[in-house]
Structure 1
Amino acid sequence: MNTKTSNSTAVMNTYGRFPIVLVKGKGACVTAEDGSEYLDFTSGIATCNLGHCPEIITDALHKQLDTLWHVSNLYHIPVQQQLAEILTENTHFQQVFFCNSGAEANEAAIKLVKKYWSDQKAIERNTIITFSHSFHGRTGTTMAATAQEKIHQGFAPLTPGFQYANYNDPQALNMINTDSTAAVMLELIQGEGGVIPAETEWVKLLCEECQRQGIPVLIDEVQSGIGRTGTFYAYEQFDIQPDIITSAKGLGSGFPIGAMLASEKFSRHFTPGTHGSTFGGNPLAATAALETVKIVKNESFLQSVKEQSDWFVNKLEQMASSFNLIEEVRGKGFLIGIQLKIDAITVIKALHDKEILTLPAGPNVLRILPPLNVRNDQLVHFANKLQEVLTEIQHNKEDENHE
């Protein structure tokens, strides 16, 4: 017996979906089922860093589709090796583990740290310090690593082994100790937590303290990596050398792939049988990622991201001075958050009417994630439409106050 109602769907209701059905995309634009065309400043949540269906990657994938889709990681995969080499060149990382998502990459990093201390016969080093407002994924363990109560609700008991400290707080350094601390794990720009950048001096002090005590530093670059902040990875702007970083989202231009990069001191503790992934780094995923990285790693490309994003943020800051609805514009590169005095969803829905797509990052932060190769005229168009929306909302509020 079919018990579905007219409004039901066979897909589980785990997302608060907007009433928009997207069917096609090219560059910074997507087309809906009804023919409406939207300027997409979500980039699939910092995933389509080169826009939708970039031709170079599309052509490479078509060629790979005609050659080989998938083989087990029990065999060598040449394109995976090429990808690992380009990711580690000119860095202090020696090896890469490939998986399918940011959460899996973070799981792998957590497992690697545990294996490292186990091999050192120091199983008492079993606590990883993470930070308030962080987001590291939705698997059982990465959810526990995430220091946000709303992510934990309904899923007790959580995976043990995590201790939460305050982000950007010098007092957090006092929690690091050689008795129980296995690692410190953090985002340099908290994306889901509200687009909150780490303070450079705090990060340097944190890393210095960890280095002094022989404690590994794990940097979650899932959202901030692959050129999103104006450098290939955000950590490059902080004058630090983390022991392990994780990457995903923009790595495959929308094709599912994740990666964990580690220095040899740690990577050698992942031996055959200690970890694995059926699909991680398979020929299709590795092909998409390799072509993406070749483009984004180019110095002229990254310089363009920096220049365009600096101009755009300056434009948004000028706009903020004209509206009492805006508290702050923050972020790095094209990972931008606007702290509002109203619910972000109000602005997001109003922008939909202007055929613009954006995201929230918490209840009051508008998150803006354009493709890294966005055109100048598209940035101007977005700024104009945002100004129209804020003007309309502000006028409506003023009219309500006068009534």
Structure 2
Amino acid sequence: MTNMAVTRELFDQVMVPNYAPAEMIPVRGLGARVWDQQHREYVDFAGGIAVSCLGHCHPVLVGALKEQSEKLWHVSNVLTNEPALRLASKMVEATFAEKAYFCNSGAEANEAAFKLARRYALEHFGAEKTQIIAFNQGFHGRTFFTVTVGGQAAYSDGFGPKPADIDHVDYNDIAALKAIMSDKTCAVVMEPLQGEGGIISPELDYVKAVRELCDQHNALLIFDEVQTGVGRTGALYAYMNLGVTPDILTSAKSLGGGFPIGAMLTTSVIAASLKPGTHGSTYGGNPLACAVAEAAFDAVNTDAVLNGVKEREGWYREGLAAINAKYHCFAEVRGKGLLLGCVLNEEFKGRAKEFLNAAMAEQLMVLIAGANVVRFAPSLVISKEDITEGLARFERAVAKIVNG
């Protein structure tokens, strides 16, 4: 078995067909570069979908992993461990939160947040307060609860009866939210910048109005910062630049720099509703994940890296504007920091996947956010040289599509 030929065809033979991966199989990464089985080199503007915050095999993360791997990998949650307590302390110190809960992914962090919101409402306001309001085109994970809260029916339909009392309104539409909120609302769930839904930033007045409505109806405000958190927008967490503080915040993706981990942050008063036995995760808060996440969190939570994100955003916007001046295919470039989306104009509407495929053919890894947006979510410390080279490859891809 060790000499088995590992090819893309093997995926079709042995893997459940819920994904349709690219033909190339990456085998090695360093910084913002990735090499495939044929030793071809790619520039990575995708970051594992906003995960690889320090790029591939960053020495700080490799060092933390190696060191912890020789100490302690796993203990059950009947015990606690030093890396988990250190990471929780640092996250609490750096944010509004007073308590942290660890799990393995963004979906699990959101699952915990939604369960906590329901439990808190039940304990404090009674059994009628169960409504969760989220936003159309939102994305909160793939568990049945989180995919139902996410406002994309294509992901949640076809699995039988959905969890109840979940409603959706359009993002940035405060009147629509106001119309369906009441004292039966237990939580409003929002991304402080919609990711999968098309890289859509919130209006500042709208975020403040959402916070006010939650206060008015004794509803919790949950910020899903799975994609925007840990430096992605140029702040440690996106809420810090919005002038609004959530009651519960979820974090994952960049939190582990590539190692699976998720976290839910909240206040002591709200956290008290998750008493022993009410929720848990076998692997959540395991020492290996927390040691790597602590190293990633420390590395990102510096002025140099966070200010560097804003500087890199400028490099991207400048380069993309130059490409668009030649090829006229983008209506706008949306987003903040290093979560950016090139919105295709009317002429190229619905063809984002073609741009992704053309980029891959030029040995550049990008993402899409729906059918109309090409998305970039690279390493937060990607070099100017790698950005320049990646954008040159992107321009060649754009030219091929525009010129037919």
- TM-score (normalised: structure 1): 0.94
CA–CA distance in 2 between the matches of 1:6 and 1:350?
24
Is 2:393 aligned against 1:385? yes
Amino acid at match of 2:135: F
Q: Secondary structure at the match of 2:19?
A: coil
* 1:83-126 alpha-carbon deviations (Å, 9 max, x no partner): 00110114221000000000000000001111101211511110
Amino acid at match of 1:207: R
Q: Secondary structure at the match of 1:52?
A: coil
- Give the conservation status (yes or no) of the 8 Å contact 2:183–2:218: no
How far 1:7 sits from its partner (Å)? 8.0
How far 1:211 sits from its partner (Å)? 1.7
**Aligned residue in 1 for 2:285:** 281
Q: Secondary structure at the match of 1:9?
A: helix
Amino acid at match of 1:65: S
Of 328, 347, 355 in structure 2, the residue corresponding to residue 347 of structure 1 is 355
* 1:153-191 alpha-carbon deviations (Å, 9 max, x no partner): 312311112110111112123235343101100001111
CA–CA distance in 2 between the matches of 1:220 and 1:6?
36
CA–CA distance in 1 between the matches of 2:111 and 2:12?
34
CA–CA distance in 1 between the matches of 2:392 and 2:27?
26
Of 379, 382, 390 in structure 2, the residue corresponding to residue 371 of structure 1 is 379
How far 1:212 sits from its partner (Å)? 2.6
How far 1:268 sits from its partner (Å)? 1.3
How far 1:76 sits from its partner (Å)? 1.9
Of 187, 192, 204 in structure 2, the residue corresponding to residue 183 of structure 1 is 187
- Give the conservation status (yes or no) of the 8 Å contact 1:97–1:259: yes
- Give the conservation status (yes or no) of the 8 Å contact 1:320–1:328: no
Amino acid at match of 1:245: L
Amino acid at match of 1:201: D
Distance 1:325 1:71, change over 3 A: same
Of 295, 298, 302 in structure 2, the residue corresponding to residue 298 of structure 1 is 302
**Aligned residue in 1 for 2:40:** 36
Unmatched segments (≥5 aa) in structure 1 = 397-403
* 1:293-313 alpha-carbon deviations (Å, 9 max, x no partner): 001001121111111212322
CA–CA distance in 1 between the matches of 2:97 and 2:335?
26
Is 2:52 aligned against 1:48? yes
Which contiguous aligned blocks of 4+ residues in structure 1 show a shift greater than 6 angstroms? Answer: none
CA–CA distance in 2 between the matches of 1:62 and 1:37?
26
How far 1:264 sits from its partner (Å)? 1.6
CA–CA distance in 2 between the matches of 1:92 and 1:385?
41
Amino acid at match of 2:169: A
Is 2:21 aligned against 1:21? no
**Aligned residue in 1 for 2:68:** 64
Moved more, 229-238 or 387-396: 387-396
CA–CA distance in 2 between the matches of 1:6 and 1:379?
33
Is 2:126 aligned against 1:122? yes
- Give the conservation status (yes or no) of the 8 Å contact 2:105–2:260: yes
Of 186, 208, 214 in structure 2, the residue corresponding to residue 210 of structure 1 is 214
Of 357, 370, 395 in structure 1, the residue corresponding to residue 365 of structure 2 is 357
How far 1:277 sits from its partner (Å)? 0.7
Amino acid at match of 2:28: K
CA–CA distance in 2 between the matches of 1:349 and 1:39?
14
Amino acid at match of 1:141: F
Distance 1:191 1:177, change over 3 A: closer
How far 1:281 sits from its partner (Å)? 1.0
Instruction: Output aligned runs, 1:255-270, within 5 Å.
Output: 255-270=259-274
Amino acid at match of 1:326: F
* 1:315-335 alpha-carbon deviations (Å, 9 max, x no partner): 323433433321111001000
CA–CA distance in 2 between the matches of 1:40 and 1:354?
12
Amino acid at match of 2:363: E
- Give the conservation status (yes or no) of the 8 Å contact 1:83–1:286: yes
CA–CA distance in 2 between the matches of 1:82 and 1:175?
43
**Aligned residue in 2 for 1:399:** none
Is 2:119 aligned against 1:111? no
Aligned CA-pair RMSD = 1.5
Distance 1:297 1:390, change over 3 A: same
Q: Secondary structure at the match of 1:328?
A: strand
**Aligned residue in 1 for 2:231:** 227
Aligned length: 392
Distance 1:7 1:187, change over 3 A: closer
CA–CA distance in 1 between the matches of 2:50 and 2:156?
24
- Give the conservation status (yes or no) of the 8 Å contact 2:339–2:375: yes
Unmatched segments (≥5 aa) in structure 2 = 1-8
CA–CA distance in 2 between the matches of 1:211 and 1:244?
14
How far 1:62 sits from its partner (Å)? 0.7
Amino acid at match of 2:269: K
CA–CA distance in 2 between the matches of 1:9 and 1:284?
32
Of 77, 83, 94 in structure 1, the residue corresponding to residue 98 of structure 2 is 94
How far 1:227 sits from its partner (Å)? 0.5
- Give the conservation status (yes or no) of the 8 Å contact 2:178–2:213: no
Distance 1:85 1:391, change over 3 A: same
**Aligned residue in 1 for 2:3:** none
Amino acid at match of 2:116: L
Distance 1:124 1:312, change over 3 A: same
Moved more, 318-327 or 93-102: 318-327
Distance 1:216 1:16, change over 3 A: same
Percent identity over the alignment is 39
How far 1:200 sits from its partner (Å)? 1.5
Amino acid at match of 1:263: T
* 1:22-73 alpha-carbon deviations (Å, 9 max, x no partner): 1111111111011111111111110111001111111111111111110011
CA–CA distance in 1 between the matches of 2:180 and 2:70?
52
Distance 1:43 1:6, change over 3 A: closer
